């Protein structure tokens, strides 16, 4: 498991900012460990890149069918776009320190569950370069 983490770190460390941005746009396709490693590299470089948690819906190219009532029943375009923007904002996540909320966090190690030796039950050990805080979590984003 540590070997896989090291390989992911080396891979992301060798990427340009544009390459990291491209991978972050498709982060929903990555494994949990790859997402954590990508987030750690983005944070290490102090980049303002968000990991995309879900695919961005493509706008339909098909024209809207006309209704018999005419133009007065057309929905307002502005009110339709607002929920899409809100949904898009909710799908991105940048890891941060639980104490000072800095994004200058560093992945330290992975504690495998001794009974299952599974990464799914493991704890991720993190530290914050900004305030020095150390913490463990299960690698799953908490709702705020």
- Determine which of 32-46, 70-84, 125-139 has the lowest per-residue pLDDT on average: 70-84
Query: Looking at per-residue confidence, does 2 or 102 come out higher?
Result: 102
Q: What is the DSSP letter of 50?
A: P
For residues 86 and 68, give the distance between their C-alpha atoms in angstroms, rounded to a whole number. 32
pLDDT tens, residue by residue, 99-121: 888 888 887 887 776 776 666 66
List the domain boundaries for the chain.
2-55+87-137
What ranges make up the beta strands (E) of the chain? 51-52, 92-93, 105-111, 123-128, 134-137
Residue 34, phi-psi category: left (phi > 0), alpha (psi -120 to 50), beta (remainder): alpha
Query: Are 133 and 96 contacting, i.e. CB atoms less than 8 angstroms apart?
Result: no
- Predicted confidence at residue 66, as pLDDT, reads 55
Q: Which residues pair with 55 in a beta bridge?
A: none
Place of tokens 């979590």: 137
Distant-in-sequence, close-in-space partners of 111: CB < 8 Å, separation ≥ 6: 122, 123, 124, 125, 136
Model confidence at 71: pLDDT above 60: no
- The maximal CA–CA distance of the chain, rounded, in angstroms, is 67
């Amino acid at each position: 498991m540590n070997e896989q983490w090291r390989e992911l770190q080396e891979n992301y460390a060798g990427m340009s900012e544009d390459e990291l941005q491209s991978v972050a746009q498709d982060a929903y396709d990555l494994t949990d460990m790859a997402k954590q490693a990508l987030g750690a590299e983005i944070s290490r470089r102090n980049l303002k890149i968000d990991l995309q948690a879900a695919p961005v819906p493509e706008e339909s190219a098909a024209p809207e069918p006309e209704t018999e009532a005419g133009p007065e029943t057309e929905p307002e375009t502005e009110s339709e776009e607002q929920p899409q923007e809100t949904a898009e904002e909710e799908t991105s996540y940048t890891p941060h320190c639980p104490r000072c909320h800095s994004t200058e966090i560093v992945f330290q190690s992975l504690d495998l569950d001794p009974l299952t030796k599974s990464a799914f039950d493991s704890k991720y050990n993190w530290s914050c370069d900004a305030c020095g805080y150390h913490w463990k979590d299960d690698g799953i984003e908490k709702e705020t």
